[in-house]
C-alpha cells in the first residue's frame, strides 16, 4: 500500500486553477486517506479540501507535462493552513504516476531515475491519523519497492520537511532554487519504515527563519540524530536530540544494537552518512564554488593576425590557479628532488634530440616560462628534460617514468608551448576527409566551433579533472582554452561549456565517445593526441573505446598528428599495441620500466584476513602513522564502504572514493582528503593512478592488488616529487600471485624483503595457476604460511613494526571495548562521508542489483551503471 498517490489533473499554468484534462500541464497529488486535494474523477479541484495556495501559487511555478517534472510551491502558505504541502523539483517518469501501480503494493514500482528534491510539510492534526495509517502501511511495505511516496506520507506528521531528497538512493546535487533551504536527506527516503523520519528535521543552520523551519529544528546535529532513527519508539530520542550531538550518537548506537552485529556497521553508515550531509555542507559549497570558478575564472589571451596576444595579468586568477606558497593544496618538491638526476635514462629511436636542462625560452614559449615560474618550478625533472625537445621536434613519444616525477607537465609544457607560438592551424589534410564516412560529415557539420587541437585522454574522471586543472594553470593568459569532459556529471552543462570553444580538451573515453556520437565535437583539427596512463588506456578495458575515438571519427591519421603516451608502467604487450597509434616514435624510459621510486619506504606485513581490521586500527594509532594523511586501498567498493564505516565508528575522519559513489560524492571525498578535513581516504583502484594528492604520507594496501603494476601505481600516491613516503601492505595467502613480482620490486628499490615472502616457493607466484594447480608447491606454500602464523600467535610481544608481520595488539589483547569506542567518538565527533552499504541496491530492485559489478578494479568508463 502506498499512502499518497498522484494522478494527473490539469492545472492552468498561469492561474493555478485546475482545468480539464488535455492541457499540457499536469499536476496531481492526493493522499489515499480519502481526503483528496483534487477530485481525480474530473480533474477539478475540490475546493473544500484543497488548500488555498494550491490554487494560487503552484502554477506560477513550473509544472510540466507528462509526469516528468513538477515544481510546486505554496509560497503563499501562511503556515496556518492545514494540510499544507510543498514540493519542489519533483521529477519522475510516468510510471511513478501510474496510479494503479502505486496503489498495488504487490507490484514493484518500476521506474527509472526517479529523482526528487521533495519538500513536504504538513501542520495538520488530522494528519496524525494519516500518519498512523501510514505507519502501518510502511511497516508492511515491501522492501523491494522504492517507497518515495510512502516516505512522503510517513512524513506528513508535524513539522517535518525534506530537502534535497533523492528517492532512488543516490545522492544528487540539488539545484533546488530555494537556496538556503537546501539540505540533504537520503537515507530516510529509502526507508519504508519511515516512522523515525517523522521527527527528523534536516536543517542546515542557514535554514533558521525560513518558512520551512519547524519548531524542533535549527541545529545541525538534530538532523543528524533523527536521521538514523528507525522506529517509532525512537521518536522521542529524535525530539530530545534537537540541539545535541551526543544524543544523535546515541540514536545511532541504538540503531546499531537493534541491527545485531552484522547490521552494526550498516546502521552506522546510515547514521554517519546523514551526519555527513550536514557536516559536509561546506564541502558542497566548496564544490559549487569550484564549479563556478571552473568556468568563470578565466583570463584568456587572443590569437590575432597570426600573433599570440597574451591577456593582462590578473592577480586574483593567478592566486586561484597557482595558490600561495603556504597553500595546503599544493604539492611541493621534497628533499630527494635532486636525486631524480641520478636515475638512468634509456632512450631509443631515430635522431633523438638533446635534453634541456632548464625551463628557458627558447625552446619554450615565453608565456609558458612565466607560468612555470608562477608555479615555482625551478628545474625540470628528467622526464621533462627529454620530452620537451622531443615534442618540440615534432616526434611521437612513448614515455615511462616513475610515479610523481612530473609526467603530466612533461607533455603539457611542450604542447602548450607549441600551441602558444604556432597558433591554431587548421588541419587541411585531405587523407582524413577521404576516409570520413557520412557520420563524420554530419559530426563535422554540427560540431561548429568545437574543434580542439589538443586531445588528452585519461582513464578516470578525477585524473581527467586534475590534468585539466594543470592545463588551466599553464595556459593562463594564453589563447588556449582548456575544457574537460567526463562521465558522472551533466553532459549538457559540459556541452554548453564547450560551446564557448576549446582548444585543449581533456576527456575520459566514454564521455568523449558519447559527445562524438551526438556530433558535438569534431576531432578533425587535432594536432596532439596524448594518452595519459597509456598502458591502462590500451589494455582490454579501454582499447576499443580508444580505437573508436582515434579511428572511427574524423581524427587525423597518425602521420598528420603528434601522438604522445605516458605512464609509470608499460607492459611489453601493451608497448607493441601502442605502436598502432604512433608514428616513428621515440621510446623514453626514466629508471626501470614499471619500477617504483626508492623515495617510498615499503613495508609488507603478513596479516591474516580476519585480523586486517584490528591490525589497521593498531597501525593507524601507532606512532609512525598517527594523524598522517593515509590512503587505504581495498579491492571492492563494498569493502571500501565497510572499512570507512568502521574507521568512522572508531573515531577517524575517514571518507571513501569508489565507483559506486556519485561524482559529487567522489569529488567531495577527494577535496576533504586534500584539505585534510579527512585524514583517511579509503579507495578502490579508481584512485590508484595519476592522482596527485598533496601530503599523502602513507599508502596502505589493506588488500593487495593481483597485479604488480597496480601496486606500483597505488603506492605511487605517496613519495612524489622527491618527497619521502611510506607504503604498507597486508599480505596473506590470498596474495600469493603477486609475491614473486613483489619480491623483485622490493629488491630493485632497495627495500627489506620479509622472510615469509622469500620463503614462498619461487615458481608459485608468477604463474597465475601454479598456486592452485601445483599441489606440491601449494602445500609447501601453505605450510610456510602456517608456520609463520603459528610463530605470530606464540609471540605476543612480536614487534609491531617488524617487517616480518604485524600482529594486532587488539587481536592479541582483545578488541577495544564499547566504552573505549564511545570515548573516541565523543572526543572526535566530526564525521565524514560514507555511502550506505551496497546491499541497499540489491534491496531496491533487481534492475539495480543485477547491474552492479562488485569488484572495482575497473575504471569509471567500464563500470556498469543502472
Ligand atoms: N619540474 C617540477 N618541479 C617541481 N614540481 C613539479 C615539476 N614538475 C611537476 N611537478 C609537480 O609534481 C607533482 C607530480 O606530477 P605528476 O602528477 O605530473 O606526476 P606523474 O609522473 O604524472 O605521476 P603519476 O605517475 O602518479 O601520474 C605535481 O604536483 C606537479 O605539479
pLDDT in tens, 425-483: 644 444 444 433 333 444 444 555 688 999 999 999 999 999 999 999 999 999 999 99
pLDDT digits (tens, 9 = 90+) for 376-416: 999 999 999 999 999 999 999 999 999 999 999 999 999 99
Which of 406, 533, 591 should be mutated for ligand 1, with most atoms under 8 A from CB?
406
User: Hey, whose CA ends up nearest to atom 15 of ligand 1?
Assistant: 406
Can the peptide bond before residue 362 be classed as cis, meaning omega within 30 degrees of 0? yes
Q: Which of 115-124, 225-234, 272-281, 828-837 has the highest mean pLDDT?
A: 828-837
The pLDDT of residue 383 is 96
Lowest mean pLDDT among 208-212, 357-361, 428-432, 799-803: 208-212
The pLDDT of residue 779 is 61
Q: How far is the CA of 390 from the centre of ligand 1 (A)?
A: 19
CA-CA-CA-CA dihedral for 825, 831, 837, 840, to nearest 10: 110
CATH topology of domain 292-424+449-590: Rossmann fold (3.40.50)
Phi then psi for residue 326, to 5 deg, are -95, 20
Rounded to the nearest 10 degrees, the angle between the axes of helix 407-422 and helix 366-374 is 140
Mean pLDDT of 116-131: 27
DSSP state of 205: S
User: What cell was used for 430?
Assistant: 585531405
Phi then psi for residue 651, to 5 deg, are 95, 10
Q: How far is the CA of 848 from the centre of ligand 1 (A)?
A: 39
The pLDDT of residue 501 is 85
pLDDT band, very low/low/confident/very high, at 229 (cuts 50, 70, 90): very low
| One CATH from 3.40.50.300, 3.40.710.10, 3.30.2290.10, 3.40.50.970 for 600-759 | 3.40.50.300
Q: How far is the CA of 381 from the centre of ligand 1 (A)?
A: 9
Cα 748 to Cα 750: distance, rounded to the nearest angstrom: 6
374 lines ligand 1 (CB under 6 A): no
Mean pLDDT of 512-529: 92
Residue 706 has pLDDT above 50, yes or no: yes
**Alpha helix ranges (H) inside 36-121:** 52-56, 99-103
Lowest mean pLDDT among 357-366, 652-661, 808-817: 808-817
Q: How far is the CA of 405 from the centre of ligand 1 (A)?
A: 5
698 lines ligand 1 (CB under 6 A): no
Cα 357 to Cα 447: distance, rounded to the nearest angstrom: 41
User: Hey, whose CA ends up nearest to atom 27 of ligand 1?
Assistant: 690
pTM attached to this predicted model: 0.63
The pLDDT of residue 808 is 55
Going by C-beta distance under 8 Å and a sequence separation of 6 or more, which residues neighbour residue 158? 122, 123, 127, 128, 198, 214
Mean pLDDT of 269-273: 30
- For 501, counting Cβ atoms within 10 Å of its Cβ (0-12 exposed, 13-18 middle, 19+ buried), the class is middle
User: Hey, whose CA ends up nearest to atom 16 of ligand 1?
Assistant: 406
pLDDT band, very low/low/confident/very high, at 613 (cuts 50, 70, 90): very high
Average pLDDT, the chain: 63
pLDDT band, very low/low/confident/very high, at 197 (cuts 50, 70, 90): very low
User: Does this complex have an ipTM over 0.95?
Assistant: yes
CATH 3.40.50.300 boundaries in the chain: 292-424+449-590, 600-759
The pLDDT of residue 55 is 26
Output 759 or 445, whichever has higher pLDDT: 759
Measured CA to CA in angstroms, residue 350 lies from 390, 393, 576, 587 at distances of 11, 12, 18, 10
Mean pLDDT of 716-738: 92
Mean pLDDT of 839-858: 30
Amino acid at each position: 500500500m502506498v499512502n499518497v498517490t498522484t494522478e494527473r489533473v490539469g492545472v492552468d499554468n498561469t492561474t493555478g486553477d485546475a482545468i480539464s484534462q488535455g492541457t499540457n500541464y499536469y499536476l496531481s497529488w492526493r493522499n489515499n486517506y480519502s481526503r483528496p486535494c483534487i477530485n481525480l474523477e474530473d480533474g477539478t479541484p475540490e475546493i473544500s479540501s484543497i488548500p488555498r495556495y494550491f490554487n494560487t501559487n503552484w502554477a506560477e511555478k513550473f509544472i510540466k507535462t507528462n509526469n516528468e517534472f513538477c515544481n510546486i510551491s505554496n509560497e503563499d502558505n501562511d503556515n496556518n493552513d492545514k494540510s499544507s504541502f510543498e514540493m519542489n523539483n519533483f521529477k519522475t517518469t510516468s510510471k511513478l504516476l501510474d496510479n494503479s501501480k502505486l496503489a498495488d503494493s504487490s507490484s514493484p514500482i518500476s521506474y527509472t531515475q526517479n529523482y526528487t528534491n521533495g519538500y513536504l510539510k504538513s501542520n495538520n492534526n488530522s494528519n496524525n491519523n494519516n500518519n498512523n495509517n501510514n505507519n502501518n502501511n510502511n511497516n508492511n511495505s515491501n522492501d523491494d519497492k522504492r517507497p518515495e511516496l510512502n516516505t512522503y506520507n510517513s512524513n506528513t506528521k508535524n513539522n517535518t520537511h525534506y530537502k534535497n531528497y533523492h528517492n532512488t538512493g543516490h545522492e544528487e546535487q540539488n539545484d533546488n532554487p530555494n537556496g538556503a533551504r537546501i539540505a540533504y536527506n537520503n537515507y530516510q527516503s529509502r526507508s519504508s519504515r519511515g516512522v523515525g523520519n517523522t521527527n527528523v528535521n534536516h536543517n542546515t543552520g542557514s535554514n533558521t527563519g525560513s518558512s520551512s523551519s519547524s519548531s524542533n529544528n535549527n541545529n545541525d546535529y538534530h538532523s543528524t540524530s533523527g536521521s538514523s532513527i528507525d522506529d517509532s519508539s525512537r521518536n522521542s530520542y529524535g525530539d530530545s536530540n534537537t540541539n545535541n550531538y551526543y544524543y544523535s550518537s546515541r540514536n545511532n548506537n541504538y540503531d546499531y544494537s537493534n541491527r545485531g552485529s552484522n547490521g552494526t556497521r550498516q546502521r552506522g553508515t546510515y547514521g554517519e552518512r546523514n551526519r555527513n550531509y550536514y557536516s559536509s555542507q561546506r564541502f558542497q559549497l566548496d564544490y559549487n564554488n569550484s564549479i563556478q570558478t571552473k568556468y568563470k575564472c578565466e583570463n584568456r589571451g587572443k590569437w590575432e593576425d597570426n600573433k599570440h596576444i597574451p591577456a593582462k595579468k590578473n592577480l586574483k586568477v593567478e592566486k586561484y590557479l597557482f595558490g600561495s606558497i603556504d597553500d595546503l593544496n599544493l604539492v611541493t618538491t621534497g628533499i630527494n628532488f635532486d636525486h631524480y638526476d641520478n636515475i638512468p635514462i634509456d632512450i631509443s629511436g631515430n635522431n633523438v634530440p638533446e635534453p634541456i636542462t632548464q625551463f628557458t625560452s627558447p625552446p619554450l614559449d615565453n608565456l609558458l616560462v612565466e607560468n612555470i615560474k608562477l608555479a615555482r618550478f625551478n628545474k625540470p625533472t628528467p622526464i621533462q628534460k627529454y620530452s620537451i625537445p622531443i615534442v618540440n621536434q615534432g616526434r611521437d613519444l612513448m614515455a615511462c617514468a616513475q610515479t610523481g616525477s612530473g609526467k603530466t607537465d612533461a607533455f603539457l609544457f611542450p604542447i602548450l608551448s607549441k600551441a602558444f607560438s604556432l597558433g591554431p592551424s587548421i588541419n587541411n589534410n585531405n587523407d582524413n576527409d577521404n576516409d570520413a564516412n557520412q557520420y563524420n560529415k554530419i559530426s563535422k557539420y554540427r560540431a561548429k566551433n568545437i574543434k580542439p587541437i589538443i586531445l588528452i585522454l585519461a582513464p578516470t574522471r578525477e585524473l581527467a579533472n586534475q590534468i585539466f586543472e594543470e592545463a588551466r594553470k599553464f595556459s593562463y593568459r594564453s589563447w588556449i582554452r582548456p575544457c574537460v569532459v567526463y562521465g558522472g556529471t551533466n553532459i549538457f552543462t559540459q556541452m554548453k561549456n564547450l560551446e564557448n570553444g576549446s582548444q585543449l580538451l581533456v576527456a575520459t573515453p566514454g564521455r568523449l565517445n558519447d559527445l562524438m556520437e551526438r556530433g558535438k565535437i569534431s576531432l578533425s583539427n587535432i594536432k596532439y593526441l596524448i594518452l595519459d596512463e597509456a598502458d591502462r588506456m590500451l589494455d582490454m578495458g579501454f582499447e576499443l573505446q580508444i580505437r573508436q575515438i582515434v579511428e572511427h571519427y574524423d581524427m587525423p591519421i597518425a602521420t598528420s598528428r603528434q601522438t604522445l603516451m605516458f605512464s609509470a608502467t608499460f607492459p611489453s604487450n601493451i608497448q607493441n599495441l601502442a605502436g598502432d597509434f604512433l608514428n616513428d616514435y621515440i621510446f623514453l624510459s626514466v629508471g626501470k620500466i614499471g619500477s617504483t621510486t626508492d623515495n617510498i619506504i615499503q613495508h609488507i606485513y603478513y596479516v591474516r584476513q580476519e585480523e586486517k581490521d584490528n591490525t589497521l586500527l593498531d597501525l593507524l594509532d601507532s606512532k609512525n602513522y598517527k594523524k598522517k594523511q593515509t590512503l587505504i586501498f581495498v579491492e571492492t567498493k563494498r569493502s571500501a564502504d565497510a572499512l570507512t564505516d568502521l574507521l568512522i565508528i572508531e573515531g577517524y575522519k575517514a571518507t571513501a572514493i569508489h565507483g559506486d559513489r556519485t561524482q559529487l560524492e567522489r569529488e567531495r571525498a577527494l577535496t576533504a582528503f586534500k584539505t585534510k578535513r579527512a585524514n583517511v581516504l579509503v579507495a578502490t583502484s579508481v584512485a590508484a593512478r595519476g592522482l596527485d594528492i598533496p601530503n599523502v604520507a602513507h599508502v596502505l594496501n589493506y588488500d593487495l592488488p593481483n597485479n604488480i603494476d597496480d601496486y606500483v601505481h597505488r603506492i605511487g600516491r605517496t613519495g612524489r616529487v622527491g618527497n619521502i613516503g611510506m607504503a604498507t601492505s597486508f599480505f596473506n595467502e590470498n596474495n600469493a600471485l603477486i609475491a614473486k613480482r613483489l619480491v623483485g620490486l622490493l629488491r630493485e628499490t632497495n627495500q627489506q624483503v620479509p622472510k615469509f615472502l622469500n620463503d614462498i616457493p619461487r615458481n608459485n607466484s608468477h604463474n597465475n595457476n601454479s598456486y592452485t594447480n601445483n599441489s606440491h608447491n601449494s602445500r609447501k606454500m601453505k605450510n610456510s604460511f602456517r608456520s609463520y602464523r603459528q610463530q605470530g600467535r606464540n609471540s605476543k610481544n612480536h614487534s609491531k613494526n617488524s617487517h616480518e608481520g604485524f600482529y594486532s595488539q587488539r587481536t592479541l589483547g582483545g578488541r577495544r571495548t564499547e566504552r573505549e569506542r564511545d570515548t573516541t567518538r565523543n572526543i572526535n565527533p566530526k564525521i565524514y562521508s560514507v555511502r550506505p552499504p551496497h546491499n541497499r541496491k540489491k534491496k531496491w530492485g533487481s534492475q539495480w542489483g543485477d547491474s552492479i559489478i562488485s569488484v572495482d578494479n575497473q575504471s569509471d568508463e567500464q563500470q556498469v551503471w543502472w
